[in-house]
Amino acid sequence: MAELARNENPIEPRQQEEKPASPWRDAWKSFRKNKMALLGLGLVSFFVIMAVFAPIIAPEGTNEQKLSSDNYAKLEAPSSDYWFGTDDFGRDILSRTIYGARISLTVGFFAVMGSIIVGSVLGIIAGYYGRWVDTIISRFFDIMLAFPSILLAIAIVAVLGPSLRNALIAIAIINIPNFGRLVRSKVLSIKEEEYIAAAKAVGMKDSRILFHHILPNSTAPIIVQGTLLIATAIIETAALGFLGLGAQAPTPEWGTMLADSRSYITNAPWTMIFPGLAIMLTVLGFNLMGDGLRDALDPKMKS
């Protein structure tokens, strides 16, 4: 009878503890299903690793001149000795391209971070307080957006002086309106939500509402826009370097390398091909990853 009772009342299996649902976990699952986004992540990861470990990966120093039998190994074609060839000073293009990743990614990241910080603060203030504050800040954004971004960057660098640091500052300034208008539009919709009205009703301070409720709910579009604008910042850095307004020789910045090699495009095209490919692949990686993040973080894009 005891055995029959045990059969009639089997021990219930342990219930597996389910992890609480997380929007970021769901976004990562959606991101992983996007093959092009994973390709972009792979490209970005490749260049980031190359930049971090540049002293280990690069076969030569950035300004080390290679000697041939009778002179400097100038404009040597790609070979087993020099995978990317050498430039007009006999420097290894592979090593300079690897170190160039460190410069371009650093400028792109910190320029966009500066734009995010300033633009987000201005956008939050404009969207939350409205009235004349919103009018002044919005007109400031409109004035900046009235100028072509690269021309505005050139004007800023011309005033500050040509250097890599000033190029970073200029790129950060010209991208402020992009984040400011994005955050402002997000704040205008969020501040009408019921939980914001409840926070005001209990006497919560505006600063706490802004930075503990509104800003965290605006992070998804900021992340997407920031990823896409890093690609734009890398192109703008290369453009300023190509014009002689960014990094100065002998800094191994990709745009500066293109400018130094334009005289040899017919007889030594490899001097321009490899820095140009580095720019193209890095920008492609950030654009693909940004598109994947947009699809993963935007509820409207989810099936």
Q: What is the pLDDT of residues 8-46, one digit of tens each?
A: 555 444 444 455 556 667 777 877 888 898 999 999 999
pLDDT at 239: 92
Structure tokens at 251: 């800094």
Q: Where does 33-72 have alpha helices with state H?
A: 35-52, 54-57
Residue 217: in which H helix or E strand, if any? none
Q: What is the mean pLDDT of the chain?
A: 83
Tell me 9's DSSP state. Answer: S
Q: Cα–Cα distance between 217 and 128 in angstroms, integer?
A: 14
What are the angstrom distances between the C-alpha of 297 and each of 83, 189, 200, 224?
A: 41, 17, 28, 8
pLDDT higher than threshold 50 for residue 143: yes
pLDDT at 15: 46
Give the model's confidence band at 170: pLDDT under 50 very low, under 70 low, under 90 confident, else very high: very high
Half-sphere exposure of 17 (CA within 13 A, CB side): 2
Say which residues have a Cβ less than 8 Å from residue 207's Cβ, sequence separation at least 6.
none
pLDDT at 13: 47
Give the model's confidence band at 4: pLDDT under 50 very low, under 70 low, under 90 confident, else very high: very low
State pLDDT tens for residues 250-289: 888 899 988 888 888 888 888 888 999 999 999 999 999 9
Q: Cα–Cα distance between 168 and 236 in angstroms, integer?
A: 9
Lowest-confidence range among 43-52, 72-81, 263-272? 72-81
pLDDT at 252: 87
**Domains in the chain, ordered, with CATH?**
31-56+94-301 (1.10.3720.10)
- Measured N-to-C along each axis, helices 35-52 and 270-297 cross at an angle, to the nearest 10 degrees, of 130
Q: Cα–Cα distance between 126 and 122 in angstroms, integer?
A: 6
Question: 81-90, 149-158, 203-212 — which one is most confidently predicted on average?
Answer: 149-158
Which amino acid does the sequence have at 27? A
